[in-house]
Structure 1
Amino acid sequence: MRQKKLSDYLLRFAVLLAVILLVLRLTCPSQTRIACVGDSITYGATIRDKSHDSYPAQLGTMLGRKYSVKNFGASGYTLQESCDRPYTSHKRYKKSLDFKPDVVLIMLGTNDTKPYNWISTEAFQDDYRQLILSYQELPSRPDVILMTPASVFPENFNPAKPYKIRAGVAGEAAKAVRELAKELGLPFIDIHEVTASHPEFFLQDGVHPNELGAKAIARTVYEALKDWGY
């Protein structure tokens, strides 16, 4: 008799638990997972409070609780595999895959502009296609959104010289991203154009945006996502 009562109790508990889980699923829909892939500009280098003021952090605040925005920026890393620090060799690349994103925002290319890294537009685009594919093949089937690298102002700021990042080549990389987005039919956000007339965003070293610049990038991404129905 006691065993039957225990069985009945366990059965009722299991049913009640299933109902609770169903209600929670219906009333608390899962968050949209957004992976921000990039270099030090995404990471928030030179920004004092990265967890609050980097562009991914500010984007997450703008989007609200229905979204989980994660920062997978890796300082000094490149898009091209032949460069000194390819992004795919960094642990944050693997973490971005494991995140099972619904949306992937890619903003790479600034470090590719260094004299010993840049090969050609074709080489840049070839490796970009492979990076895009690595995300598209995930079980979560994320939407991949391309972002042009930001403008840089090394000619105006002496501290930028050690980076060896070239403004002209950054323009070439941005053009390459635009062409690739058109070729593949992918949405893209032109951060290069948005930042081109705002050297005040890069006052510290001509390369890394300050909190104001990160906010402008986040706002641009936020408005694009909303326009596209996210």
Structure 2
Amino acid sequence: MKKRIVIFGDSNTWGYDAKSGGRFNEEIRWPMVAAKILGDRYRVCEEGLCGRTTCLDDPFNEGLSGLNYLLPCLQSHSPLDMLVIMLGTNDCKERFSLTGANIALGMRRLVIKALGADVWRDKPNILIIAPGPILKECENSAVGSNMGRCSDKSYKLSMEYKFVADELKVGFFDAAPYVVMNDIDFMHLTADSHIALAKKVSEIIKETLENKEVKI
């Protein structure tokens, strides 16, 4: 049976293309590129949603709390071998008034829920990904009126997520050294960054599920 992986994220997992305003195709979106790299022994379930938060209900958009959707999502794809979570960018919106440490508590709730879910084929394997930070230029871009002051706290997520991963004994990966944000809205990955992220995450998935030493 194929090893099943859920990749759970926001618009940078869904594949938002800031240049076109549409969606990158499957040859670019990082979960689908990772699936291709991993090959026929793996089944990657792509679960990205634009605007998704860790655990927050957005007052202007319905259904964006990752916490509310996580369990049915995992159940629908079970039995699972691994869960990859890359969230937090939308939690940085000024209207939520959170610190980096607050956002990490949202990630912590997600991981705890996933660890306790009856969806695992063998044992829970979870990887937290700290997303690439939102560049300061985003606040003065076309999306700045929606995002507000969001950049500074996004740079705190890597450190705070690492604390959560260490506490809960799950995997952690900082995407920042491997990705670049576009020069239009300064918060979404470039096409090249999707490819780079896919290569690294697929390596971590394979090493984790084949019981090899993971080098991050």
Whether the TM-score (by the shorter chain) exceeds 0.5 is: yes
- Aligned residues of 1:63 and 1:222 also touching (Cα < 8 A): yes
Give the aligned partner of residue 15 of structure 1: none
Give the aligned partner of residue 124 of structure 1: 103
Give the aligned partner of residue 73 of structure 2: 95
Give the aligned partner of residue 197 of structure 2: 217
Give the aligned partner of residue 213 of structure 2: none
Map 1:202-213 → 2, pairs under 5 A = 202-213=182-193
- Aligned residues of 2:67 and 2:109 also touching (Cα < 8 A): no
Q: Structure 2 length normalisation: TM-score?
A: 0.80
Pick from 135, 139, 145: which aligns with 1:153? Answer: 135
Distance apart, 1:163 and its partner CA: 4.1
Ranges of 4+ aligned residues in structure 1 off by more than 4 Å: none
Give the aligned partner of residue 29 of structure 2: 54
Give the aligned partner of residue 33 of structure 1: 4
- Aligned residues of 1:34 and 1:103 also touching (Cα < 8 A): yes
Distance apart, 1:185 and its partner CA: 1.9
Distance apart, 1:48 and its partner CA: 4.0
Secondary structure of 1:188 counterpart:
strand
Give the aligned partner of residue 19 of structure 1: none
**Which stretch shows the higher mean deviation, 81-90 or 205-214?**
81-90
- Separation in 2, partners of 1:125, 1:205: 24
- Separation in 2, partners of 1:130, 1:94: 15
Pick from 16, 39, 43: which aligns with 1:45? Answer: 16
Relative contact order, higher structure (CA 8 A, sep 6+): 2
Larger radius of gyration: 1
Distance apart, 1:154 and its partner CA: 4.3
Q: Structure 1 length normalisation: TM-score?
A: 0.75
- Separation in 1, partners of 2:205, 2:73: 23
Pick from 68, 77, 83: which aligns with 1:104? Answer: 83
Secondary structure of 2:137 counterpart:
coil
Pick from 47, 51, 64: which aligns with 1:76? Answer: 51
Map 1:180-219 → 2, pairs under 5 A = 180-195=164-179, 198-199=180-181, 202-219=182-199
- Separation in 1, partners of 2:29, 2:23: 9
Q: Which protein is richer in helix relative to its size?
A: 1
**Which stretch shows the higher mean deviation, 56-65 or 124-133?**
124-133
RMSD between superposed Cα atoms in Å: 2.3
- Residue 138 (structure 1) aligned with residue 117 (structure 2): yes
Q: Which amino acid aligns with 1:42?
A: T
Change in 2 beyond 3 A, CA 1:88/1:228: closer
> Across the two proteins, how many residue pairs are aligned to each other?
196
- Aligned residues of 1:33 and 1:102 also touching (Cα < 8 A): yes
- Separation in 1, partners of 2:94, 2:156: 13
Change in 2 beyond 3 A, CA 1:50/1:134: farther
